[in-house]
Structures are given as C-alpha cells and as structure tokens.
Amino acid sequence: MQILICVKQVPDDSIEIRLDNKTKMPNLNGVSMVANAFDTYALEMAVRFMEANGGNVSVLNVGAEDSTNTLKNCLAVGAKEAYFVQDDSFVNLDALGAADALANAIRKIENDKGQKFDLILCGLESTDEITGQVGAMLAEKLETGFVSRAIAFNVKDGDLQVNQETEEGYNVVSVISPAVVTVSKPEYDPRYPTIKTKMASRKAVIPTFSAAEIGEVKQAIVRLVEYVEPPKREAGIKIQEKDAVLAVSAAIEQMKKDKAI
Amino acid sequence: MKALLYIETSGDKVLGGSVELISAVKAIDAEGTALVIGNKVAAGTVASFGIPVIYTDSVATDNDTLTEVLFEIVKGENPDMLLFANTALSKDVAPRIAARMNFGCVSDVIGMSKNDGKVMYTRPAYGGTIFERIEVEGASVVTVRGGSFSKPEAAANAEITEKNVQIPANAIKAKIVDVVKEISESVNLEEAQVIVAGGRGMGSAENFELVKELARVLGGVVGATRPPIEDGWISRAHQVGQSGKVVAPKLYIACGISGATQHTSGISGSDYIVAINKDEDAPIFEIANLAIVGDVTEILKGMIEEMKKVKAE
Ligand SMILES: Cc1cc2nc3c(=O)[nH]c(=O)nc-3n(C[C@H](O)[C@H](O)[C@H](O)COP(=O)(O)OP(=O)(O)OC[C@H]3O[C@@H](n4cnc5c(N)ncnc54)[C@H](O)[C@@H]3O)c2cc1C
C-alpha cells in the first residue's frame, strides 16, 4: 500500500505559548518547530503497517516556512520519502487553502511518480490552531472517501478497514480506497529516531516545489483579525497546611463560603 | 442574515449543545431555522423553542449520508451560516460541507458578535492560552463549543416543514461494518454539575479509586487526564481536554493534575475549580479558585469523609 501522511509544522506543544504583549502575536521565541503531534501518531501507524505488510510511506508538508528539518525527522522515524511545497504565498492559508494546496501537491507527486496513493493520513487536528478541518476538506477536494478519528487501520480481503474511535470503543469502517483518514491517538506512542536513522535522514534529498509548480493559490476566506488574551481567572485562595486534616477543613470552609458546595 | 442550525439527536433526545445554537443566532440577530434529520419527536421538541424547523425523513446513520443530506438542504436554503454544536460528529461533517460549498469554516467557536453586518467569531487556539478573533468572507460553517451560549426558553410552537432528499448510491464510500463497545458505562461529562478528575499524580489504579469515591459522594462524574487513561486506571470515556471532553460544571476538583494546556483548555468553562497538588508551583493553581497544596491521597481521604458529613447535613 502506498501511504502518504500530510504533516504540519507547528510550535512544540510541550511549551505553553502566550501572546506577546507588544506585537499581540503568539510569542514563539525559543520555541522549536516540530511535526504536529497527531501527524506523528499517523506516521507511526503507517510505518507499523508498512513494516508488517510492505508498501511505502511518504510525508508531505506545504507551508511558508522552511520545514526541511521536520520532514527529515519524519524520515528518521520510518518515512521513506518526503515532499515539500514551500511558498511565501502560503503565509495566510486558511484550512480550505491548505486542503487545496495539499490536493494539488498530491496530484503532482502522483503524476511524477506515475503511481497513486492508496491511503492519505492526516492528524485529527493541529496543536496550534486546533481547527481539525484540513483532513475532511482534503477528502472533498480529492473526491475520496473519508474516515475521521482512526486508531488503527488494516486491509481485509482487499478492503481498507479503519477502526474509528467512538465514545464507547470503536466502529470498524470499510472505506473505498483511495481514502483520506484522520488519526487520533492510538494506544502506542511514536518511536524515537536512533543515531543511525538520524544520520541517514540528514543526507536525504527532499524534492521541493513552489506553489506555481503545483497549482494556484486561492485567497483565504477565513481571516484572522486579531489575537487576544483569554479573560484571566481571578487568582484563588491557597491552602498550605502541613496537616492534611486541617487542610481539608480549611478547604471545606472556603468552598462553603464560596457556595461551591 | 439567514442561519441554518443543525440539531444533533440521539434517539428522541435533542443534544443540549445543539439547542444552545438557538441562543447563539439570537446573539447576532440572525434569522434561524433548525434542521432535524430523521426524528420527528425531536423536531417537535425544537419547534417548542419557537424556531421554525426543517424536517427530513432520511435515515442518516453514516456520515456520508448525513453530509449529502446537509449538502442538499444547504444548497436549497442558501443560508449565510450553517451552525453545528462542536461534537465528534460535527467535526467530521462540518468541514466537508464547507469544502463542498466553498464556505469558510470556523471551529470551536466560544463567542460571536456582529459588527457592521459582519460576524466576528472568537475561538481558542494554542491549547486555549490565546484566543483568535476571526471573520469570514461570504457564507460560513461554524461549530460552537457547548456551554458557550445559554439554553433557550420555551416559546410558542413554530412551524415544521418537511423536506425530502434523495441520496445517490455512490455518495456512500465509507460503511460501518462493525460496532465494538469496550466501555459500557455512560459518562456524561458535558452535562455534569460536579466533576472530580484525577491525573497522573494519583499514582496508581488503586489510588485512583479515591477520585471515583469522592465523585460518588458528591453525586458527580469522574474525569481524567490522558496519563491515567493510558495507564489503564480508567476508560477513555472520562478524558477531559483538547482531545477529550470540554466541560462546564459548577464544581471541578482536579486531583494530582499539573495543568497542561491540553487539559485546562477543556475545563476553563467551570464555575469553581479546586486543585489538589503537592507542587505549590503547579500551573493548575493559576486557574484554581481554591488551591490545596499537599499529598493528594491524604487530602482526598479526608475530603471524602468531610464531604459525607456535609452531604448528610
Ligand atoms: C496532541 C495532544 C493532545 C492531548 N490531549 C489531552 C487531553 O485531551 N486531555 C489531557 O488531560 N491531556 C491531553 N494531553 C496530554 C497533556 O499534554 C498532559 O500530558 C496531561 O494532561 C498531563 O496529565 P497530568 O496532569 O495528569 O500529569 P502530569 O503533568 O504528570 O502531572 C501530574 C501532577 O501530579 C502532581 N502530583 C504527583 N504526585 C502527587 C501527590 N502524591 N500528591 C499531589 N500531587 C501529586 C505533580 O506535582 C504534577 O503536577 C494531550 C497531549 C497532546 C500532545
């Protein structure tokens, strides 16, 4: 199976991003750019499938910023090929624009390779904007089937089957290939690169295209007007009793006073 | 401005978050029409809030069919906005309609206001530490976070119009072939008034029982961060946060939880937050109304006993 993972480059989500007081923009000083967490789950899922069944796993990023490093990190954890479409006109892409650019890039890669992807994976959502729109929109643009919230996938009797996370467990969904599938957190964590795979990925050559080489850029219809600070919650009361019994009775008194119980 | 409100149903029941959309469109003076698919009783319930309802008889048990039904109705009605409650279902369907209609899509909206005829949407980004204010050129598809608007009040019954939609066979590309239930308990975190949630700081499955016990004493629902779920102390249905449930209880007690934004983004709608943590600098304390510094197992044991007394009073 030929699998492609669309990878977004985002600020490291283990660091809390706040608004810069002067610029009123998210302060990304000293925050490294990494592959979106959900995309790394998708990559791990695909690489495990490839290791068990053969086939090929590629990764694709479209964006305005240099993402070579992020893509190389994907190669170091099992992707075989990486593609990059970099263009300054992608700075203000909205989700529809991103889905359009991805669809164009996918068609171009498929043409160049003379081979179609059977499965296209996206993370459920990105950890920066958290819109969760791109995967579903990409399926529409490519006119393929779509399944959201995958926690596993398999091929059974030639059919693509996706386990879709639900409230109570999961649905087994049979979907016509090619399909776009968004990935939630599976039971396992993504692997780490080894020194050897890291060294090898550093030497990799990543085919890079401009927007003009893949298609046209559509103007964003969803526009960010401004970033604002969330309203602050009032600083609360702190109980620092060494004795747990005293701490509990102080807490209960306070909760009663605040009419919380 | 014309708004179409998709009402999510479960059996005859109308999803709480969906009826809040009625208040959301009032806030921007839009003319709202509700859309109910496949459940006549639910259509009646919605009409009793005084909002006209379009009802279609289609059975949309899969998302491809639902997308198709919505697409056909949106094409026919030509609204300026299509609103959804922000649920797993709408996260799947809303962006597909947006792409098909070339409407701008705004997810997880927590506020809307109208300025010079244009709607300004507010939504959290970066795990809720930053809010975005967004405008859309042309028509939009919007998913609204539950608890962001009030529940509407009963009014004179409005009209229900029936519409038929034909689904072409090739519209269905994905089919559910099996439903696997691993979790039998029903966990209604979204509508809970009291939530007692445990984190990695609970230390073990055994200690996590204290969280459940306090929830039981308070008549509340158990919540959890991701680590206790991954460690198998409690099922995934209890996860609160960015990839779990967004909650808005009157009382939220966070036990052994550090306060990572992926968790706190889901609890900021709580009226009153109590946090128990041994680390006096834990980030959770920054959003807690009441911060208790101490060992969570000891505090919980004491609290369970004291709360029993309070409840008996
Ligand atoms: C893409 C993505 C999505 C995510 N989505 C979610 C989500 O939806 N929900 C979610 O919760 N997480 C989510 N996470 C995980 C999240 O980033 C944090 O890892 C998680 O919330 C931390 O859980 P915690 O607070 O229980 O654990 P920790 O951060 O490990 O904190 C444990 C706390 O317990 C305290 N403690 C330890 N022992 C004691 C004791 N004896 N007494 C008192 N206090 C004690 C410690 O001081 C510490 O503050 C997500 C992560 C990613 C990358």
- Rounded to two decimals, the ipTM of the complex is 0.95
Q: Quick one: pLDDT at residue A7?
A: 98
- Is the per-residue pLDDT at A235 higher than 80? no
Type of residue numbered A114:
G
Q: Is B239 exposed, middle or buried, given 0-12, 13-18 or 19+ CB atoms closer than 10 A? A: buried
Q: Quick one: pLDDT at residue B180?
A: 96
Stretch B38-52: mean pLDDT:
96
Q: Quick one: pLDDT at residue B54?
A: 98
Which residues on A lie below 8 Å from B180 (Cβ)?
163, 169-172
Q: Quick one: pLDDT at residue B169?
A: 87
Q: How far is the CA of B256 from the centre of ligand 1 (A)?
A: 8
- pLDDT band, very low/low/confident/very high, at B52 (cuts 50, 70, 90): very high
- pLDDT band, very low/low/confident/very high, at B191 (cuts 50, 70, 90): confident
Q: Quick one: pLDDT at residue B184?
A: 76
- Put simply, the answer to whether B136 touches A140 (Cβ < 8 Å) is no
- Put simply, the answer to whether B179 touches A166 (Cβ < 8 Å) is yes
Q: Quick one: pLDDT at residue A9?
A: 98
Q: Quick one: pLDDT at residue B44?
A: 97
- pLDDT band, very low/low/confident/very high, at B59 (cuts 50, 70, 90): confident
What are A31-75's pLDDT values in tens digits?
A: 999 999 999 999 999 999 999 999 999 999 999 999 999 999 999
Stretch B138-161: mean pLDDT:
95
CA-based nearest residue in chain A for residue B261? A16
The three-class DSSP label of residue A77 is coil
Type of residue numbered B59:
V
The three-class DSSP label of residue A79 is coil
- Put simply, the answer to whether B274 touches A260 (Cβ < 8 Å) is yes
Domain(s) labelled CATH 3.40.50.620 in chain B stretch across 2-171
Q: Is B8 exposed, middle or buried, given 0-12, 13-18 or 19+ CB atoms closer than 10 A? A: buried
- Put simply, the answer to whether B127 touches A127 (Cβ < 8 Å) is yes
Q: What are phi and psi of A247, to 5 degrees?
A: -60, -45
- Cβ–ligand 1 distance for B279 under 6 Å, the answer yes
Rg (CA), chain B: 21
The verdict on whether residue B277 carries a ligand-binding annotation is: yes
Q: Supply the mean pLDDT for chain A.
A: 96
The three-class DSSP label of residue A19 is strand
Calpha distance A94→B133 (Å, rounded)? 14
Q: Quick one: pLDDT at residue B84?
A: 98
Name the residue ranges covered by the structural domains of chain A. 2-214, 231-260
- Is the per-residue pLDDT at A11 higher than 90? yes
Nearest alpha carbon to residue B93 among B142, B166, B35: B142
- Cβ–ligand 1 distance for B296 under 6 Å, the answer yes
Q: DSSP characters for B148-175?
A: SSPPPPP-S---EEEE-----GGG--EE
Q: Supply the mean pLDDT for chain B.
A: 95
The closest-lying atom of ligand 1 relative to the alpha carbon of residue A127 is: 1
CATH number given to B2-171:
3.40.50.620
Give me the residue label for tokens 């600098």: B281
Stretch B1-21: mean pLDDT:
94
Q: How far is the CA of A72 from the centre of ligand 1 (A)?
A: 29
Q: Quick one: pLDDT at residue B38?
A: 93
% chain B with pLDDT above 90: 90
- Is the per-residue pLDDT at B61 higher than 90? no
Stretch A205-222: mean pLDDT:
95
Q: How far is the CA of B199 from the centre of ligand 1 (A)?
A: 6
Stretch A80-99: mean pLDDT:
97
- Cβ–ligand 1 distance for A37 under 6 Å, the answer yes
Helices first, then strands: H and E counts in chain A: 7, 13
What are B246-288's pLDDT values in tens digits?
A: 999 999 999 999 999 999 999 988 999 999 999 999 999 999 9
Ligand 1 atom 49, closest CA = B258
Q: Quick one: pLDDT at residue B82?
A: 98
Q: Quick one: pLDDT at residue B208?
A: 98
Domain A2-214 -> CATH class = alpha beta
Nearest alpha carbon to residue B40 among B23, B53, B22, B49: B53
Q: Quick one: pLDDT at residue B192?
A: 95
Q: Which residues share a beta bridge with A61? A: A84
CA distance A91 to chain B (A): 16
Domain(s) labelled CATH 3.40.50.1220 in chain B stretch across 194-312
- Cβ–ligand 1 distance for B223 under 6 Å, the answer no
Stretch B114-121: mean pLDDT:
93
Stretch A103-107: mean pLDDT:
98
Q: Quick one: pLDDT at residue B220?
A: 97
Stretch B237-242: mean pLDDT:
94
- Is the per-residue pLDDT at B186 higher than 80? no
Stretch B24-47: mean pLDDT:
96
Stretch A236-259: mean pLDDT:
96
Quick one: DSSP state of residue B235? -
- Is the per-residue pLDDT at B211 higher than 80? yes
- Cβ–ligand 1 distance for A13 under 6 Å, the answer yes
Q: How far is the CA of B25 from the centre of ligand 1 (A)?
A: 36
Stretch A181-203: mean pLDDT:
97
- pLDDT band, very low/low/confident/very high, at A215 (cuts 50, 70, 90): very high
CATH number given to B194-312:
3.40.50.1220
Calpha distance B276→B107 (Å, rounded)? 32
What are A124-167's pLDDT values in tens digits?
A: 999 999 999 999 999 999 999 999 999 999 999 989 999 999 98
